[in-house]
Amino acid sequence: MEGVLHKWTNYLSGWQPRYFVLDGTVLSYYDSQEDVGKGSKGSIKMAVCEIKVYTADFTRMDLIIPGEQYFYLKAVNAAERQKWLVALGSAKACLADSRSKKEREISETEDTLKSKMSELRLYCDLLMQQVHKIQESAQPLQDSSTPDVEKMNEASSLLKATCNTFINTLEDCMKIASVKISPELLSPPESPVAHVTSTPLRRVKRSVSHSGVVPPDRNAEINNLVQPPKGSITVMRNLEEMAAHRASRRTRSPVGNKTPDDSFAAQPENLLPPSQSVQDESASSANGE
């Protein structure tokens, strides 16, 4: 709806005619009808405003957002005000109905889901009872060695019908849940690890009784696997390790039987680097001179 209404501006200008346009739930006003396409001077949402009607003045009505916005309006006559009141009230009522309809749909969905869950619990109890009946009918009677076949068939048919009803009710619950839950939440997010590792990772399983300490024999096997083969590769050794090794061999050898290693180990000067031995000899010769 659209038309001319008088709007209160200020105490100097008083009531001024403005052209109002009701578009959906938004009421906008312009200086004139020609300015409709140029942008409104102001607007108010009917969803949050209150409509005040004056009984003393049949042309007066106010649109108020408490503490924020006030539209003081006057129609040309009482009939025109009545048309505007019907249009503005309908816009506000339609919005309220739409929101209440959405709320009703949500509440109805929740109630339906609750009732379906109650049915599932009931059918679950029935299934347990019918399975118990089948177990009883499968046992042979006291006066005969064969079970009651007729009773078993009856219990089996009831169990089949209950299972079908249980499955149908469960499908209804899944449908209701899928409507309430957004689709993006139903599918798990893609893991970024899949783009990093192209080959599957190898997992090592450890028993609960494993202490976590590697035994010496296993440690030696691991070192043999890790170390490269000793073919023509030169192995660098520390001089201190060589001296300790020869000293240990000397202590293990019998007394009186000296090996070439004993004479070598007995002379610690032989363990020094060649450059240092030459310097010591030159220093001793200089002192002798």
| Domain identity same for 13 and 66 | yes
| Domain identity same for 112 and 63 | no
Using left for φ > 0, alpha for ψ between -120 and 50, and beta otherwise, residue 62 falls in beta
Q: What is the mean pLDDT of residues 127-151?
A: 76
Q: Is residue 90 situated within a structural domain? A: no
Q: Is residue 237 situated within a structural domain? A: no
Boundaries of domain holding 123: 103-180
Give CA angle at 64 (61, 70), nearest 5°: 90
pLDDT, tens only, 59-69:
998 888 888 88
Last residue of a domain, one of 180, 204, 229: 180
Q: Is residue 275 situated within a structural domain? A: no
Q: How high is the pLDDT of residue 2?
A: 86
- pLDDT class of 196 with cuts at 50, 70, 90: very low
Last residue of a domain, one of 180, 213, 236: 180
Q: How high is the pLDDT of residue 32?
A: 85
> Rounded to the nearest 5°, which phi and psi values hold at 30?
-135, 165
Q: Is residue 53 situated within a structural domain? A: yes
Q: Is residue 151 situated within a structural domain? A: yes
| Domain identity same for 119 and 159 | yes
Q: What is the CATH number of the domain that holds 50?
A: 2.30.29.30
| Domain identity same for 68 and 116 | no
- pLDDT class of 127 with cuts at 50, 70, 90: confident
| Domain identity same for 109 and 176 | yes
Is the pLDDT score of 205 beyond 60?
no
> Which residue blocks in 148-206 are alpha helix, DSSP H?
149-180, 183-186, 193-196
**Chain-centroid distance, C-alpha 269:** 72
| Domain identity same for 116 and 156 | yes
pLDDT, tens only, 45-94:
887 888 888 888 889 988 888 888 888 999 988 888 888 888 888 887 77
CA distance 50 to 63: 6
Percentage of the chain lying above the pLDDT 90 cut: 2
| Domain identity same for 6 and 71 | yes
Q: Is residue 233 situated within a structural domain? A: no
Q: Is residue 263 situated within a structural domain? A: no
pLDDT, tens only, 5-36:
999 888 888 999 999 998 888 888 888 888 88
Q: Cα separations (Å) of 153 from 56, 62, 135, 272? A: 84, 78, 12, 100
| Domain identity same for 130 and 72 | no
Higher pLDDT residue, 25 or 214?
25
| Domain identity same for 9 and 61 | yes
Q: How high is the pLDDT of residue 166?
A: 84
Q: How many domains does the chain have?
A: 2
Q: What is the mean pLDDT of residues 219-224?
A: 58
Last residue of a domain, one of 140, 155, 180: 180
* Residue in 62, 87, 59, 86 with CA at minimum distance from that of residue 75: 59
Higher pLDDT residue, 167 or 181?
167
What are the structure tokens assigned to 56, written together?
A: 């003393």
Q: How high is the pLDDT of residue 175?
A: 82
Q: Is residue 57 situated within a structural domain? A: yes
| Domain identity same for 72 and 131 | no
C-alpha torsion angle, residues 251, 257, 259, 262 (rounded to 10): 50
Helix (H) or strand (E) holding 19: strand 14-23
